[in-house]
Amino acid sequence: MNGKHIIVTGGAGFIGTNLVRKLCEDNHVTVVDNLHTGSVENIRDLVDAGKVKFVEGDVKNLRKLGIEADVVFHLGIYSASPMYRKNPQLVSEVVAGTIDVLEYVKERGARLVYASTSSIYNSIEPPHREDIIPLVTDFYTEARLAGERLLELYSKLYGIDAQAVRFFSVYGKYEKAKAGYANLATQFLLAMKHGKQPEIYGDGTQRRDFIYAEDLADLLIAASSRKGFNIYNAGTGKNYDLNELVDMINRMLGKDIRPKYLKMPVSNYVMVTLADTTKIRKELGFEAKTSLEKGLDIINKFYS
């Protein structure tokens, strides 16, 4: 992809920043972000260098901003289940924002890539395939599923090209601004670097398919070229339990810090995520390049 006019909603956030840094070298990129969990400092150097335009705003007003784009990456969506437990009204916010993005795409003939979630596979036996029938589990999942269904509807009614990408456990650079909503790999690393015990709910046997953010950015870019409506998993096809994650970080840091185990606070916790990667390999030619060990080493140096 090059020479395109691109909007990245949520582009000052963690995943958005990793995507924007790949896109801005060869494209005209505008970031639209309400800074809920993002930070302009993540992309300050790009804005100051004139490589990226930043607009502080809500996606519900995207059509009013007067920005032209060939492709929209819609990442500006409230991104953690606890946010929705605190405020279920966020479901309606997500739907309203996604509809405005879809109206923008319809009016301009642009392509859309939408950030969905692996939480859709909650309580379903892994490995997780894109064609499963989701169960009813929580507000966060319902918000993202509503978005997926709206993409499919707009594609059927208006012929737009809209790709839904279900993110598994994404970790990487530029995640500090998310604080307690950051990925567990990043939270554990930052705690253990400072000699603190990582906190694990349950016994640590829950398993996650961790994907490095720069790999995810490559997948999102690959998905943007697809026609029609499609759903893609964004995972590696490998998973690790949280005790293994702690052991990896200890070996890397040369420490021996044991986790603090806490009582599980919710009944609908996702115990296992594991992406079936068949579709992304066949249709996108994508395979994650960064192992968990390598990714941890990269972010350890980045956060030093």
Question: What does pTM read for this prediction?
Answer: 0.96
For residue 129, tell me if it sits in a domain: yes
At residue 134, the pLDDT reads 96
For residue 223, tell me if it sits in a domain: yes
At residue 44, the pLDDT reads 97
Q: Are residues 166 and 227 in the same domain?
A: yes
At residue 266, the pLDDT reads 80
Q: Are residues 78 and 182 in the same domain?
A: no
Q: Are residues 249 and 147 in the same domain?
A: no
Q: What is the CATH number of the domain that holds 24?
A: 3.40.50.720
Longest dimension (CA), the chain: 57
Q: How far is CA 206 from CA 209, 221, 243, 277, in A?
A: 11, 30, 9, 20
Query: HSE-up of 76 (CA within 13 Å, CB side)?
Result: 34
Q: Are residues 122 and 84 in the same domain?
A: yes
> What are 38-82's pLDDT values in tens digits?
999 999 999 999 999 999 999 999 999 999 999 999 999 998 888
At residue 80, the pLDDT reads 85
> What are 5-22's pLDDT values in tens digits?
999 999 999 999 999 999
At residue 270, the pLDDT reads 86
- Which pair of tokens denotes residue 247? 């052991």
At residue 180, the pLDDT reads 81
Q: Are residues 49 and 192 in the same domain?
A: no
Q: Are residues 200 and 130 in the same domain?
A: no
Low-confidence ranges of the chain (pLDDT < 70): none
Q: Are residues 261 and 132 in the same domain?
A: no
